[in-house]
Structure 1
Amino acid sequence: MEAISDQLLGDHISLALRIARFQGNRPLSQAQVDLAQLPGSLEIAGSHWICSAAFDSVDGGLEGYLRFCLDAGSLPDGNVAVDLTFHTWSQAHYLLMPAAAYNGNRYRAVRKRYPPFLHADDIIGAAMPVTISDVPRLNIADGPSQIHLRSGDLATPAVAVFDPDRQRGCLILFEPMTAYGTTGVRFGESPDRTRATLSIEAPAVRATRYTMVNPDHPSDDRGAAFAAGDRVALRLRLFLFDCPAIPDLFGFFFRHRQDMAGDTRLVHGLPWSAAYRIIEDKYNRTQYNDRYHYYRLTPKTETSVYGDWQAGWCGGGLNALALAYDGGEISQQRAKRTMDSIFGYLQNQHGYIQPSMHEGKPFGDDFDYKEAAGVLLVRKNGDILLFAARFIALLRQRGEPVPETWIAGLGYLADAFVRLWQRYGQFGQFVDIEAETILQGGTASGSVVPGGLILAWKLLEKPVYRDIAEASARCYFKQHVCQGLINGGPGEILQSPDSESASNLLESYVTLYEVTGDRQWLPMAEATAHHCASWVVSYNFIFPSQSVFGRLGMRTLGSVYANVQNKHAAPGFCTLSGAAWLRLARATGDRRYLDLIRETAHNITQYLSREDRPIASWNQGRPLPPGWMNERVNMSDWEGKDNIGGVFFGSCWSEISCLLTYAEIPGIWFLTDTGEAMALDHVNVTVMDDGQAWQLAVHNPTRFRSTVKLLAEPRSAFAQPWEIAATDHCRLIDLAPDEHLVLRIAKAITAPYF
């Protein structure tokens, strides 16, 4: 072990094995042995342990098995751990805990009840410091500084560190569970911040656990009862690598995020088209506001002020595009009426779209003073800008007339963002849409705006739209991607790191490339994708067998964590299909982007409650009605251990992401020159070479009728970006349950692109 120990010491890291004894969740004593002394023994509370380690070289890193064997005695309440200590630590180091901590969440934090909101006495304004809610974090000031979590709090069980002085990176991956329960992960700093220790422990025993905006809730964790003969093995992978900058840390993480993921095979269930029809039916039965003419956020039975009209974010206006793609005649009409309303009475004199409305009364986005109707979360109008532009492009592509009010309204909204940028050099997070001033600045809340503006430039041919789209996109890259903090998208987490801002920024960079054809945007898109991937669950979490998700066999692979405050994964990206990943794969030739979106898109339909498979909520077991999809994919115990693998009774934005999946992502992507077939929908595909043509054998293995979209093109076509609504031209393959069909597709001449 001396050679491994010396290798770690070259990066000023030491490794030790530790055993701890608890009373409840309070540590009583511990014993530790350094790596160089292994194999060795430890004594604690009358128990005798034999400790050993074995390492192998794997893919440029080390795979380690750290073993603990209780040789004699017992330990009724204990855990075992591996400690990695960084001996040249500083507050300048960057700490990544995927979906849980970005830069260690070392920012100004304020304690407020949910949903938190900042006001004048909180030090706000265009130049305010980054301000997050009360979440697990490293201390920005003096005093204790640690983050202590369970593996279920992370999208990937991993921790990564960037040392800016030595330009080195460290990545540790570990298994999420052992036979003794959920693995714990703790990262703590010394009082003088010159050392830090990462602990991987089995099982997790925390003194406190995080609940909504409260990191100090008493924990109900307990140690394991170990008896003579018991053995525990902690398996981890450790990489030490050159790392010039923070984006390189995320890039390295992206390459290795599934190294220990286990079985990532996809299991067919509900086809996309079948899910689309169930949700469409639910929307038209329960979710159209006949009086004010728009699709609501939630069914009419849900009486919340925020469930009626709410621009963007959780779906207002975004649902219209989703239903315009593949909806029936009623859906098409209502989607267009929704757009009429957006660019009618919902648009103010400055071009902004009203944030919220209920029964004709406008409301704003300040949760403490919702009657302040002019307070707007910037990303909400950014979402409308992007989706409205796509809706207009879709109709033009179909040869349908586009109302002049839509064209004018899109321009008015784009102009509002232009004025904001010209005045402040940023879009901010919250603005006053009457005074046109930034209330709370900074963040990447407007990260979708560059994508919306570049589409507005394409549709309206106004040069300033492109100028500001490109300037703001570069600014977001420098200030957010390069700093490892992409934040500000959700309206109820203050300025905490989140996945939505990252997803929206990826959407912008890919759209900039596709509209302009300028490949300068692709490296920015890839760096953003690597960051965004840290929020995407890379493995299948094992839910408690008695939980709702455990009984249904839910697979978490591809689900997407929300943010560091709301510690749940969700069925998809809020509120997107994720098609930007597929388009990025096509533009770069990197198959990993395709694999990631395939996991998210394929698995999203399992979260849909249906007549034949209702999903029970934790509200007295009340089942979600058919067509409802809840946002909760709870792997964390932030809402209590009993609610791991459970959902509340609620219809959520994830339904729109499911609609958009069918609308914007081809179920089969086939390359007519190379014969490669990539199935993303719930369908099996086999390719046979038939001389001058390909035979594509398609099988629907599910119990449901399926209409699969086939997008066929030669690889040589990759030199040109897809048009905005590429999937609207797809060939439709109608399949009965268990039907096999063979298609004959002419071969294209092979002409390598990459």
Structure 2
Amino acid sequence: MKGKSVSILLLIFSFCMAPWVDAQDNRKGSWLPEDGKMSVPDRKSTEVSDFLKSLHGYLRPIVCEYEDVVLKSAKGFKKGKAQVQTSSWSCNINETTVADCPDALDLDITFMITEGELKSGGVALAFDFTGWSRENYVLMPAYVYNGNRFHVETNGYMAPYPSYYYYNKNVPLLFSNSPRLSEERSASKIEALTGNLATPAFCFFSPKEQRGCIILTEQKSHLGNYGMFIEENASQDRATFVVSAPGVRELTAGFGDFGYSGDQACKWTSGDRLRMRFRIYNFEASGIPDLLDKFMNVRKEVTGKNNPRNLCPFSTVTSFTADYKNQVRWLEKGTGKSFYRMENSDGYQLGWVGGLMGTFAMLALDDSLSRERVIQTYDYVVSNMRGKSGYFYGSFRDGKVGSDRDNIPDAALVRKNSDALFFMMKHLLLFEQQGYGDLVKQEWKDAARALAQAFVNTWVKNKDLGNYVNAATGEIIIYHSTSGAIAPAGLVLAARYFKENSFLKTAMEIAGYFYDDYVAGLGLTCAHSGDIMQDADADSAYGFMESLMALYYATMDKKWLSMAQTTAHLAATWTLSYDYEYPPGSTLYDLKANTAGAIWASVQNKHAAPGICTSSGDYLFKLFRATGQVRYADLLRDIIHAHAEVMETPGRSTTGMGPGTSMERIQTTDADGKGAVGVILKTSNGWTEDCGLLMSLEVPGIYVQTDQDVLYVFDHLKVEVVCRNGDEVTLRIANPTRFDAATAVFAERSSSAGKPLGYCNFTQWKKVLVKAGNIVEVVIKATDDIKIASKAKC
């Protein structure tokens, strides 16, 4: 969920929600062993127990009996047998060591009811851990970060901050009312279905044992999505991780609240069986970064490699979406009142969902109409939304600036101002790159410099950027968070543009603080969206990557690259790692959509989206180029192709709003209701359109190193190396899509890859035209000299 573009469904849900239901109102049933002991009397699975010994872990297969949605009993097996009422069960566990991976173990488990029946039942595998500690870092990708063990005293979507949080530094982070382990010393339980997670996985890091654990499973069985549960006892020294089939929760988590799940157990009769597959990792880890690095490497090992489809070339995305922007998103109200809308309303919102961000893509088109409209939009924002402090107000409507938080006068979201600073500087650079530096107005420069200085002032005074600031005074209203995750990137560019060293110094200090205290310290970044509390979210992780790569660009210090890698691994936890199986009859099922690469919004807003809000993610390409590690390019490619799966094109309707449009919901959860899974609402979001434009412009369609065996294709094309001849490489490019492609080729020698890219290099990449369904061969030199070849020069 982004900005004010709230669906009618969610509004009704929010306004009609029941009185506060707490996360721990789900403890009518328990997954913990009935005798309070975590050891298993019949430890048939010796190898598993030995494998988990260093983590004090044990395996416990169980048969479940439910009363409606409440777990009434969880019966363990003895010698592979179990008896539940009149039913008899067997459980067969096969363990397999993983070749060349001593820290991994595969499990293949088959449950079978051998006699009788169970009217309301299921099966599950529990991983029980003794020697547990509340200090353990617990991760369920896109759902739970550090156990979500944070302060909560709010309920519902975009809940208000308590008044005692205003201008108060001595308050903790404030999360929404979402699934969590208890902040206090008490028992707690987290409930989920696999659709709630970007990867079906449990992960934790034990500081005491200096070890990490990752438990991977599949999305579903023939009974539907698995249930995934974590439960702690009251003293928080024991914990159980459970995967169940079918998934039966007491409560379903909504957008900051809870409701009755409506999940159903099933009837089992003699001969029914169910198979589960797992991979477990138990490895040495000195900190959260080690856990995240491991996760980045193994997240697709059980669900398997995804299958990105070639649907729509970058150049077609650019054409369709830019046309839509100029035809529909332009609001013409005369001199001084006209601007590019970033939403479906006529108000203006800065940053976050596109204000002064999508205009960068329109400026990059380098045509007179779009350029003039970008200039008008800039004039509109700078003349109407600047605060006395140097910060901008977050919104402007009907001739008045607005507060970003109801009941808090003059509140401006730090993230919005961070986006604004970064993209203002990019605009100024692009105007100059295109040869139109004379069109840049002094008041724009003054506004950008004043905004950079406002960030410096806030940091120097508070050693914090806060979550919300007073746009009039510059004072922090709500403290803490990484809402300013992208601010260091803006300060880096401002330091270069204005030749002001204090901007770069401040950027380095802020980035070091965010990394140490949040990424490495808490294992999350947070509060980057204007409609959440200080929840962990994806935007801030990706945004912080932008800052870290900017610092590498400015300093060539590889410590920023190392931090960027860890942050990329964190960002990947928010990104759908496999092609989710949607229910028959849903929009995404009918489209046969492969949506690996969709990005979850936040702990509060339980849905994925087609893109990084709001960015091309080109810093992932820069990280791939700088490190040579393909996993970062793979992540970016997945994100790009997920966007194409939901963008409307002629003859392939998704939003119903026209070619180039897209909608922010890729819904794999039932947070909007069970009938909402896989449904694309009939509307379009400006920020997802901006993502499509930015990705199609700022990321090369084809990247090749002419002197090394390095080739990567981001565009919707099939490319292979025909041959290499000295410093030339011949490529065969096939276009399997319905649309002609003019793809950008970025070629260089390997020695150049260590030099950071700037922010307008994409304007210099050469284009190769490949007609729909055609194949061409091209000869490429590192100088970007590209020639169409009649045949390979080898």
TM-score by structure 2 length?
Answer: 0.89
TM-superposed CA distance for 1:84, in Å, is 0.5
TM-superposed CA distance for 1:261, in Å, is 2.5
Distance 2:473 2:239 in 1: 47
Is the 1:685–1:696 Cα contact (8 Å) retained in structure 2?
Answer: yes
Q: Which amino acid aligns with 1:296?
A: R
TM-superposed CA distance for 1:530, in Å, is 1.1
For the residue of structure 1 that corresponds to 2:482, the secondary structure is: coil
Match of 1:650 in 2: 683
Distance 1:465 1:124 in 2: 25
Change (3 A) 1:149 1:124: farther
Change (3 A) 1:579 1:748: closer
Match of 1:67 in 2: 110
User: 530-539 vs 259-268, which deviates more?
Assistant: 259-268
Deviations 1:278-315 (A, max 9, x none): 211111112123232321112xxx44xxx521000010
TM-superposed CA distance for 1:122, in Å, is 5.1
User: 119-128 vs 338-347, which deviates more?
Assistant: 119-128
Q: 2:664 aligns with which of 593, 607, 631?
A: 631
Match of 1:620 in 2: none
Is the 2:414–2:469 Cα contact (8 Å) retained in structure 1?
Answer: yes
Distance 2:571 2:176 in 1: 21
Match of 1:558 in 2: 597
Confirm whether residue 700 of structure 1 aligns to residue 735 of structure 2: yes
For the residue of structure 2 that corresponds to 1:261, the secondary structure is: coil
Match of 2:542 in 1: 503
TM-superposed CA distance for 1:99, in Å, is 0.5
TM-superposed CA distance for 1:675, in Å, is 4.9
Distance 2:75 2:64 in 1: 7
Distance 1:562 1:697 in 2: 38
Q: What does residue range 371-386 of structure 1 map to in structure 2 within 5 Å?
A: 372=409, 374-386=410-422
User: 670-679 vs 431-440, which deviates more?
Assistant: 670-679
For the residue of structure 2 that corresponds to 1:529, the secondary structure is: helix
Q: Which amino acid aligns with 1:361?
A: K
Is the 1:117–1:492 Cα contact (8 Å) retained in structure 2?
Answer: no
Deviations 1:389-441 (A, max 9, x none): 11111222233213333222211110111111111111100011112111101
Q: What does residue range 489-528 of structure 1 map to in structure 2 within 5 Å?
A: 489-528=528-567
Distance 1:108 1:79 in 2: 34
Q: What does residue range 442-453 of structure 1 map to in structure 2 within 5 Å?
A: 442-453=480-491
TM-superposed CA distance for 1:748, in Å, is 8.4
Q: 1:641 aligns with which of 674, 679, 699?
A: 674
Confirm whether residue 162 of structure 1 aligns to residue 235 of structure 2: no
Distance 1:676 1:193 in 2: 50
Is the 1:30–1:44 Cα contact (8 Å) retained in structure 2?
Answer: no
TM-superposed CA distance for 1:322, in Å, is 1.3
Distance 1:395 1:340 in 2: 15
For the residue of structure 2 that corresponds to 1:520, the secondary structure is: helix
Match of 2:278 in 1: 236
Confirm whether residue 18 of structure 1 aligns to residue 62 of structure 2: yes
Q: What does residue range 588-667 of structure 1 map to in structure 2 within 5 Å?
A: 588-615=627-654, 623-652=656-685, 653-667=687-701
Q: Which amino acid aligns with 2:519?
A: V
Deviations 1:300-344 (A, max 9, x none): xx44xxx52100001011011011112643112212322233333
Q: What does residue range 247-262 of structure 1 map to in structure 2 within 5 Å?
A: 247-262=289-304
TM-superposed CA distance for 1:191, in Å, is 1.5
User: 494-503 vs 623-632, which deviates more?
Assistant: 623-632
Q: Which amino acid aligns with 1:358?
A: R
Is the 2:187–2:236 Cα contact (8 Å) retained in structure 1?
Answer: no
Distance 1:517 1:506 in 2: 15
For the residue of structure 1 that corresponds to 2:309, the secondary structure is: coil
Q: Which amino acid aligns with 1:674?
A: Q
Match of 2:17 in 1: none
TM-superposed CA distance for 1:133, in Å, is 0.9
Q: Which amino acid aligns with 2:577?
A: S
Distance 2:174 2:725 in 1: 63
TM-superposed CA distance for 1:180, in Å, is 1.4
What is the identity percentage for the equivalent residue pairs of Structure 1 and Structure 2? 31
Deviations 1:444-491 (A, max 9, x none): 000100010011001110111011011111111111111212101011
For the residue of structure 2 that corresponds to 1:719, the secondary structure is: coil
- Which structure 1 segments of 5+ residues have no match? 617-622, 750-754
TM-superposed CA distance for 1:110, in Å, is 1.8
Match of 1:420 in 2: 458
Confirm whether residue 206 of structure 1 aligns to residue 249 of structure 2: yes
Deviations 1:519-551 (A, max 9, x none): 221111111111111101110100001111111
Match of 2:767 in 1: 732
Match of 1:687 in 2: 721
After superposition, the CA RMSD in angstroms is: 1.8
Deviations 1:213-249 (A, max 9, x none): 112x111101122222121111111111111111111
Q: What does residue range 529-568 of structure 1 map to in structure 2 within 5 Å?
A: 529-568=568-607
For the residue of structure 2 that corresponds to 1:186, the secondary structure is: strand
Is the 2:524–2:570 Cα contact (8 Å) retained in structure 1?
Answer: no
Distance 1:506 1:345 in 2: 31
Q: Which amino acid aligns with 1:375?
A: A
Deviations 1:247-266 (A, max 9, x none): 11111111111111324122
For the residue of structure 2 that corresponds to 1:354, the secondary structure is: coil
Q: 1:267 aligns with which of 309, 320, 330?
A: 309
Deviations 1:68-123 (A, max 9, x none): 11111122321110000110112111110000001110001122332212141457
Change (3 A) 1:673 1:251: same
TM-superposed CA distance for 1:718, in Å, is 1.2
Q: Which amino acid aligns with 1:613?
A: R
TM-superposed CA distance for 1:633, in Å, is 0.6
Match of 2:778 in 1: 743
Distance 1:724 1:639 in 2: 39
TM-score by structure 1 length?
Answer: 0.94
Change (3 A) 1:10 1:112: closer
TM-superposed CA distance for 1:606, in Å, is 1.9
Confirm whether residue 280 of structure 1 aligns to residue 322 of structure 2: yes
For the residue of structure 2 that corresponds to 1:572, the secondary structure is: coil
For the residue of structure 2 that corresponds to 1:56, the secondary structure is: strand
Q: Which amino acid aligns with 2:224?
A: G
Distance 2:137 2:172 in 1: 18
Q: Which amino acid aligns with 1:55?
A: E
Is the 1:157–1:173 Cα contact (8 Å) retained in structure 2?
Answer: yes
Confirm whether residue 353 of structure 1 aligns to residue 392 of structure 2: yes
For the residue of structure 2 that corresponds to 1:10, the secondary structure is: helix
Distance 2:183 2:174 in 1: 11
